[in-house]
Amino acid sequence: MFKYELHMHTSEASACGKNTVDEMIRKYHSLGFSGAVITNHFFHGNTRIDRTLPPEEFVRQFCAPFFEGQKTAKELDFDLLFGLEENYGSGKEFLVYGITPQFLLEHTYLFAPEMNKPPYREEMLAAWRREADKCGAVIAFAHPYRDRPYITDPGFVPDRSPFDAVEVFNLCNRPEDNARAAEEYENSDKILIAGSDLHHTDFDVASGVAFSHRVRDEIALATALKKGDFELVLPKI
């Protein structure tokens, strides 16, 4: 089986990131992972990129660590895949798999000012859903029921229909938060995934999914997730 991290941040684009993409890749590789999806915080989330930049420049800087990381990935025969994490209001977030940097350049309207409508950006999430349907991408509800100061209503359950998948195990969640998510979605039609949500290299275990084959690109990742062709990697902590 080949282990893949589905939720990884880096210091170049996530304001809360502590280590570079090079350092993160080397850490995961040392733990026996075959690949990882770089899911830095996007425009409405805790991004390090200046939101006042023109959209194309914002995308270029946001995607820079992905391209930089390809050098290390090639050296280590590690599959670095592109993705992102976006905030759609009050600390609620979603992950996107199966898109490329080019997708963002072609869909800058997804982070236009009119999409920023608090408290919950239903229009923005609906727009992402429409575009995901066109290109086969997967949208996952990130860390349900996480209880943190920046989340104004941890118990709030948003409309679930836009989500293909749910992150039922997040290494940075409280055990009770993960348990609630797993129980809540066990018999649902959602794809159940796991991720570490790590922002630094100070860890000795990580979570994610394990495929029976290497996943070399973003389309292959989305396809494998939709087929359910994987097992959850749930470390003992």
Interatomic CA distance for residues 20 and 69, integer angstroms? 9
pLDDT at 237 over 60: no
pLDDT for position 160: 83
Q: What would the pLDDT profile of 112-134 be if each residue is shown by its tens digit? A: 877 776 666 788 889 999 999 99
Q: Which residues contact 111 (CB under 8 A, 6 or more apart)?
A: 42, 43, 44, 55, 58
Domain spans, the chain: 2-233
Residue for token digits 């959602």?
Answer: 190
Q: How confident is the model over 137-169, as pLDDT tens digits?
A: 999 999 988 888 887 777 676 678 899 999 999
Average pLDDT, rounded, for the chain: 93
Does the domain made of 2-233 have the CATH classification 3.20.20.140?
yes
Its pTM stands at 0.95
Question: Measuring CA to CA, which residue among 72, 4, 78, 76 is closest to residue 39?
Answer: 4
pLDDT digits (tens, 9 = 90+) for 178-225: 999 999 999 999 999 999 999 999 999 999 999 999 999 999 999 999
Rounded CA separation 196/59 (Å) = 24
